[in-house]
Every structure is written in C-alpha cells, then in structure tokens.
Amino acid sequence: MYSTITARNTAAQDDESFKGEDAREGLTAIISVKLQEAQFEGQTKTKLGNSEMRALVDAMVSEKLMTFFEENPQVARTIIEKAQTAARAREAAKKAREMTRRKSALDSASLPGKLADCIEKDPTYTEIYIVEGDSAGGSAKEGRDRRHQAILPLWGKMLNVEKARLDRVYGNDKLTPMITAFGAGFGDDFDLAKLRYGKIILMADADVDGSHIRTLLLTFFFRFMRPLIEHGHVFIARRRCSRTKRARMSATPIPRSSSATASLKWADNVRVQRYKGLGEMDPQQLWETTMDPEHRTLLQVTMEDAAAADETFALLMGEKVEPRREFIERNAKYVMNLDVIREENYAVFENDYGYGAHPRFQSIWHRRIWSRFPGYGNDKFTASAAEKIKVAADCPDAQVYFLTGGTQTNMVVIDTLLRPYEGVVASSCGHVNTHEAGAIESTGHKVLTVPHKNGKLDADDLREYVQTFYADASHDHMVFPGMVYISHPSEYGTLYTRNELERISAVCKEFAMPLFLDGARLGYGLTADTDVTLQDIAKLTDVFYIGGTKCGALCGEAVVFTHGNMPRQFVTMVKRRGAMIAKGRLNALQFDALFTDGLYEKICAPAVKLAIKLRDGLKAKGYRFALESPTNQQFIIVENSRLPELQSKVVYSFIEKYDAEHTVIRLATSWATTEEQVDELLSIL
C-alpha cells in the first residue's frame, strides 16, 4: 500500500496536470456486461447510455484494480511512469500547437533561418528541396531557380520518430524548421490547405547514409504529416550518376551469345564525370543533373495500403530488433548492385585470398616496380626468384616459370603436357573437375575421374583405373590417361603423406604418366603437421606449382618442372593461352620476397595454427566435421535451420549438402587472420 501511495504522490508532485487520458493512452480493455433494455448514446452505438451500469462498473473495477496494484507495486509504478510520459507529450504538443497558431506561415520573420525561400507564393508552382548538409545546401541555393524553388538544408543526426517519445518529437530542433517551413502544422493539427509548397523533394547523397536520411524523413512524414504522402506531395530527387560533355554515342547490337549486349563508341574529347555526394557538385552541375525541371527525374512517394505501410514502418524503424533482422535475412537475396561491404560487422572466413598482400611487398613494389626492366620475364628479379626456388626445393635441374593465377596455371600445364587424344586423371573432388568452370576441357582434354578417399587420390585406385583402361580391347577408341593431377592440400584440406606420394609417383612412372601437383595452398600444407617437404614434392613429381595468390602474395603462381623436363613449346603455349604478361617481374618480385629468409613459411604457419585453434574450439562446442583437416581449411557440419543466423554474422563458403537436415560449410583462415578474429568466430558459433 505504501509503494502505491508514494508513486501516486510523486506523480502529483512531478506533474500537476496529470489527467485520466494520460493513464488511458495505449490502454486496451474489454469489459463485458449483461443487462436488459440496453440504451446507447447516438446512432453509432459506441457508448452505453444506461447510467446505472457505470456506477457498478466503476465500483467493481476500482476495487479489483486497487487490490491488483497493492499486490503488484512494480506494475503500478510502471503504469504511473507511462502516464507521466504521456502527460509530458500532451503538454509539449499543446505548446507546439500554440506556437504554430501564434505564427503566420506566410510571415517571413517566422521562417527558419536556414531556409532560402522562393519568390512565388502559390503552392501550385512552388517546391522545396530538403537537402542533406550545409555544403550541398549552399550549392543548391546558388544553382536553384529562385522564382519557385526553396532550399532547406538539414544538419546533424535526424530523429527516428518511430522510436522517440512524443515530447521529443514535438521539441526536436531538426524537425521544427521543416514544420515551420511547410506552414501546415503537424500531427492532429496538420492542415493540407495551408501547405506552402506543392512539391516536397528529398535530396540526399547517393550512398547508404543518404538512403537512411530519406527513410527517417519519410517515417516522420508518414507518422505526423500523412496527407503529404496520400496526396502525392512528396518526391525523391534522382540524380544522373554521370555527366558527359560533347558526347556522341552509338550502340551496335551484339549476338545474345556474347557476354556483352552492346558496344559503345564515344567521340573524341568526351569528358565523363561521376557524382556520389551532393557536395561534390558545383551549383551549375547540381542544377543540370538534379534540379532542372526540364531534365531531372523525380520519384513520387505513394502509398497504396496504409495498413501495410504502417506495419512496414513499425517493423523497420521500431524498437524490436528481431523482426527487423528476420525481414533483412528474408529479403537480402533480392538486393542488387550493392557496393558497400561493412566487414567490421562480420567474421570473414570465406576464403584465403580475399585480402591484398603481405606488407613486405609494399616496400618492394615501391622501390622496384616503377623502374625500367626487360619484359616477358627476362629481368633479373625473375632469374633471382627462380634460383631461390630451386635452392629451397633442392632441385638444381628445375625450370621455373611464373604465371598469374591457379586456373590459368592448371589449364596451361595440362594442355601442354597432354597429346590431343589424352586426358588428365584426377580424383572426383579434384579442383580441375569441380571448380575450374570447364577450363581444362575447353582445351579439348577430358578430365578422367577416380573416386576420392578423404579428398585424395589413392594409388591402388589409380592403378586399377589405368589397368582397366588398357585391358579394354577397344581402348584405342577412348580418351587415354595421359597424366595425373593431385592437389596438396586437397580440395578438402587433407594432406598426402610421403608414402602416399611415393606410391602414386610409382604408378605414374609405371604407365609413363607425368605427375602434376597443384600447390595453390602449398604453403599451408608445408607448415601443417606433415612428413612431406618441398624437397619431397620436387623429387616425386614431374611438375608442380607453388601458390602465391592464396599464400600472402597479391597474385602469382610459380610453375616448377623438376627434372629439366619443361616442354620446349611451353612458353609458346603460355602465349597461345593468353597467359603471358609483358611485365613478368610483377609475379617474380613477389616470389623473390617469399623465398627470402623463409617468408613463405612464416606467412602461412600462423594461419594453420589459428585453424587448429578454431577446430579444437568447435569440437569443444560439440560441432561435427566432414573430415579431419590439418590445414587452414576446416569443414564443419551445420544444421540447416542455423544457416540464416550464421549468414547474418559470418562470411563462409558453402561446400555441399551433408544430408536433408545438415550442410557442410568451409571456414578458412589466411595469412591475414588474427587470433582476435578466431576468438570472435568461436563466440558467435
């Protein structure tokens, strides 16, 4: 009883104008009464006219409600605090209405100081631009047509009225200038007949912040000036994103089979200029691209279904986070042309080549990339890098050639080593079979697959495949197994042991098939828990490549023919496949650095260490793995129901469906991954 009385007395002291309507705001109650000869006030029958019932209901509700408040003092206090808030809002609204009534909308003295008004007074012909920022406002004021265009710059952070109390809305210094400028009031007192401008045009930057500002303004209009939208007075300025001078353009159709749809031919002396922010434009440019009624584009804001609009604003701009997140997750797939990625909001473990290059390369390029050197790999850096690789591999007879990317390397090497009637043997999950987009077979060579075991090619399965081929009397009519492809690590992050490589190498020698090892992630394989060294690979293969793109370099792969066995026509084939670059030192400079002071292993080792930490942490949390990977790639089994949640927090790679209820996803660390990022990922998962 004491708590209730105290709360009641506090309310009386804080707000003497406390009224019943304040307590009833937002309250919904159902009272069921039964009586004979019911009478109603008015034809709408919204109010019961039997006076005797009021006394009975009042007495019953008062008694029961008092009892409830005595037993639940915290609820009583909450109700009173809510009523106080409603009272403050009511008083603020009253003051705002009084202020609006006192001021004449057409009296220039009452208009906001930042408003640059127009000369015309007839709202049929006038328009006001609501502009993001003083800088853009200055350009708009100078570039406008003063006769009928008014400019009102906004500044500071806009208030989200969907989350704010009414008293904050009524007294907000960002909204008041608009209310005063429009001259029609707002809320229950809004009068469309007093509107000073026929068009209200929102003009903001063409970025995420600009979109947010437009949304905040539309929320305010919908909640407090809805007739503006209902009667088509609100517009969004849409700017041309580029501007050309002295331009003549012709379009030549191209067949549908082509990747392009049109060829654009521009005349000489054409200047193309791009704009994002309003502040980037001078007054003339802003007029030409956005404000000139003869050439501009305005998007009219309309509302077909008020109930649906109300629900949407409450969902996207309201207090409740979960419904908004569900909406975003449900509709994110429909987003197009998104050019802003805020990685700070995500744990990024999608791949190991997303980051740029190790800082060591920055100083190297700064010193050497701009100087003049011979082209096509005939420079001193290429020779130096090749020599360092031969020393590291303990392979003095090796021949080294630098290419730019993994797919390019696989295609050129395989195409060069095979005769026209031969194919390459690989495991069913091998990269050349699954993720090369048909690059190998586009050269005319077929990929011949053998079932994998933990992502790897098994020597016994390989021998059986080749023996079966030659045992077929009609094998001359078939694609010959001409070479063998393996990757280390495999597509599933697993590693060959030295014994497994020796056995595969023996089968290749038995059937005179060159053994080619894809080392796109070789650095992570060499620094993992393994008995295979770079020297072992050089000894047991006929050709392999050392991956740079995924192992700290910006790009580049080093192809190593191990026994002086580079085909004489290899350079010609590189040229034929469009893989030769004139400035060959671009790739060589990186490998020269990678194989100086053991940098290649130093870059890759931490990624493997962090991947193992991630694996062990996930195991402790009860996660299952598709297979055991000792390298920087980890493959976990996740319930399908959890995928939407993970997609909102983690950037990962989809691998394959595990079963009807589960999916295998890949989490990859890289040379740039930090321990803090792994800890964050473990906390998310």
Positions annotated as catalytic residues are: 132, 205, 207, 209
H helix or E strand, kind and range, residue 547: strand 543-547
From CA 305, how far away is CA 236, in angstroms rounded? 20
Q: Give me the residues paired with residue 624 across strands.
A: 637
Amino acid letter, 3: S
* Amino acid letter, 623: Y
Q: Tokens 């991956």: give the residue.
A: 547
Please report, for residues 176, 457, 474, 670, the alpha-carbon distance to residue 677 in angstroms, rounded to integers and kept in the order given.
45, 34, 57, 11
- 612 vs 633: CA distance, rounded Å: 9
C-alpha dihedral sign at 445, 449, 455, 457: negative
How far is residue 329 CA from its own chain's centroid? 12
Residue count of the chain, please give it: 685
Q: Which of 106, 124, 118 is nearest to 180 (CA)?
A: 106
In single-letter form, the type of residue at position 506 comes to A
Name beta bridge partners: 664.
637, 656
Question: How many other β-carbons are positioned within 10 Å of the β-carbon of residue 504?
Answer: 24
Let me know: does 83 contact 18? Beta carbons within 8 Å.
Answer: yes
| Strand 297-300 versus strand 234-238 pairing type | antiparallel
480: which strand partners? 422
Q: Which H or E run includes 199?
A: strand 199-203
Angle at 228 between CA 223 and CA 234, to 5 degrees: 105
On the 0-12 / 13-18 / 19+ scale of CB atoms within 10 A, 364 is middle
As a whole number of Å, the end-to-end CA separation of the chain is 49
Give the Cβ contact number of residue 247 at 10 Å: 12
